[in-house]
Amino acid sequence: MSNYLKAIFAGGCFWCTESTFAKVSGVIEVLPGYIGDGAYNANYDAVSTGRTKHYEAIEITYDPDKVSYEQLLEVFWREIDPTDPDGQFADKGPQYKSAIFYITEAERFLAEESKKALEESKRFSKPIVTEILLAKEFYVAETYHCRYYEKNSQHYKMYRKGSGREDFLKRVWGDNVFLS
């Protein structure tokens, strides 16, 4: 029996966040999907309109003996623009906003502490707007979205670069960024 845990993050396009977290030692699985509005079974056609209350997100299964939730939070902050209230990079709309979805009160506390530490670091001149929300039902994305970065690697690389994510992260974090 494993003692694996889950973590859920929304950081804009789930292709990009999935590919980054898939490379983290101790991460067992990363699934792209939708979270935020438990009213119905979410799908890309509905969520991409921006008219649902869902976010594009990833659900991470990880081994806490190999990677901590705090380390996952650190990777998350280095994968997004936490100051953008309208989405992430080229993707705009409520479905692309950044958020940390906590499952336990301990996760909520750690997420709030990490957000506060990032604010106090003064790395960003604008306010940190990433939300910290209670996790609801997570709906796994359609199969063609899963592991997109592997199945369509050339398109994925062009998208990641063209969206502005890669250049932004390099500019803000330099060599201390996870690039995928």
Domain range annotation of the chain: 5-176
β strands within 63-156, DSSP E: 87-88, 91-92, 98-102, 131-134, 138-140
Give dist(CA 100, CA 80) in Å, integer: 12
**Phi/psi at 135 (nearest 5 deg)?**
-70, 140
Q: Which residues touch 17 (CB under 8 Å, ≥6 apart)?
A: 9, 10, 11, 30, 32, 57, 58, 76, 79, 80
Q: What pLDDT, on the 0 to 100 scale, is given for residue 38?
A: 67
Q: pTM of the prediction? A: 0.94
Give CATH superfamily name and number for 5-176. Peptide methionine sulphoxide reductase MsrA (3.30.1060.10)
The answer to whether residue 53 scores a pLDDT higher than 60 is yes
Active site residue ranges:
13
Condensed to tens digits (0 to 9), the pLDDT of residues 81-136 reads 999 999 999 999 999 999 999 999 999 999 999 999 999 999 999 999 999 999 99
Condensed to tens digits (0 to 9), the pLDDT of residues 15-48 reads 899 999 999 999 999 999 999 876 667 878 888 8
